Amino acid sequence: DSDGSMVSTGNAISIQIRAKPSPVLLQDTLYPRKGAASDSQTVQVTAQYLSPSLTLSAFQISMGTLAWGLLSLSLSNTACTDSLCAMHMLTFLLPPSPDGPDLSRDTGLNVSVNGQLLGTLTYSYVSASTPTLVSVSPSQMTTSSTGASAVTVFTQNFPSGGCYAVSCQGDIGAMRVLFGSSSLMWSAADTGKLLAVTFTPAQTSA
């Protein structure tokens, strides 16, 4: 496909023909880029320069011998009638890792449209037994709050993979929490699959 323009100057006519850009997957828009190998994950990615008239049935996601379709397909600009202005959001459900829950690996996800490969995405499966820092609450505080306000760190598979099945809290007696060079007092509690470690940062100045 191409578009063009024609310019007349006196008795001369100049014609410019420009090829339309090929459809492309915007790799940087993949979200999330990783997840637990044991879990299914809803994944989104944006594609550009596809025909606005495409429907869900035109798309296929494949990983090795596994293949499936999209959950949803949306056009960012609903008034767009040409591929030049088309930006599609593709949403699909990624299955758990076929290699099992305890192996971390990168995998290629092939995205095809009407049987033609549009692009390949790289997704990272993370072992369900890998120690992981899940979140910190609060994620920030003012210096005036140090020494008075507590911080809670949520971890998974720490200090050992799958410890939540019995108690992660029972295995961390020798753990130290350091704030700079200061060793802090802490407490811990099992919260489902997560271990919550709470401590109060040492007072500091600006």
Q: Per residue in 20-38, pLDDT tens?
A: 899 999 999 999 998 888 8
pTM above 0.75, yes or no: no
The more confidently predicted of residues 66 and 202 is 66
- 5 pLDDT more than 70: no
How many whole angstroms from its chain centre is CA 121?
A: 11
Alpha carbon dihedral 31, 34, 35, 40, in 10-degree steps, equals: 60
**Contact present, 38 and 128 (Cβ < 8 Å):** yes
Of 195, 185, 186, the residue nearest 159 (C-alpha): 195
Cα distances from 190 to residues 13, 95, 169, 197, in angstroms, run 78, 28, 6, 9
Q: What is the pLDDT of residue 131?
A: 85
Q: What is the pLDDT of residue 109?
A: 98
Average pLDDT over the chain reads 87
114 SS3 class? coil
The more confidently predicted of residues 183 and 67 is 67
